[in-house]
């Protein structure tokens, strides 16, 4: 019973650290913490004791709430990245348009004497 609670508590703490990493933009570290959190939850389920499941309800509800926050933050970061990519694509198209108008069309005007 105490092992299961310890695993769930560690998973909750790891999930909170993961959320802080996502908020700070540290995606790689958040990914590592997500894997660790998953492993801790797997260990907690392996220690399943049918009589003690009712006592774990509060921890599981906290984990569910934390998962909702993590999902919401990940979706926000995904949407932000998507808009940044669209903006970069539009900027690239705009700059490509300038490039075609700035280039000279032929070599002849370069050799004309403009002074006389």
103, part of any domain? no
Whole domain around residue 61: which residue ranges? 2-73
52, part of any domain? yes
- What's the number of CA atoms in the CB half-sphere (13 Å) around residue 34? 15
93, part of any domain? no
Phi, psi of 9 (to 5 degrees): -65, -40
23, part of any domain? yes
24, part of any domain? yes
Number of structural domains in the chain: 1
pLDDT digits (tens, 9 = 90+) for 9-22: 898 899 889 888 88
pLDDT digits (tens, 9 = 90+) for 30-76: 889 999 988 988 888 777 666 666 667 777 888 888 889 989 988 99
Indicate whether 110 pLDDT > 90: no
Instruction: Give a three-class secondary structure readout of the chain.
Output: CHHHHHHHHHHHHHHHHHHHHHHHCCHHHHHHHHHHHHHHHHHHHHCCCHHHHHHHHHHHHHHHHHHHHHHHHHHHHHHHHHHHHHHHHHHHHHHHHHHHHHCCCCCHHHHCCCCC
50, part of any domain? yes
89, part of any domain? no
98, part of any domain? no
């Amino acid at each position: 019973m105490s092992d299961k609670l310890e695993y769930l508590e560690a998973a909750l703490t790891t999930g909170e650290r993961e959320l802080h990493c996502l908020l700070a933009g540290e995606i790689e570290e958040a990914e590592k913490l997500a894997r660790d959190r998953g492993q801790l939850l797997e260990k907690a389920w392996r220690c399943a004791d049918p009589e003690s499941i009712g006592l774990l309800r509060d921890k599981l509800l906290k984990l569910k709430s934390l998962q909702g926050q993590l999902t919401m933050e990940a979706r926000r970061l995904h949407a932000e990245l998507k808009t940044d990519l669209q903006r970069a694509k539009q900027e690239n198209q705009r700059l490509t348009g300038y490039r075609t108008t700035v280039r000279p069309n032929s070599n002849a005007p370069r050799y004309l004497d403009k002074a006389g």
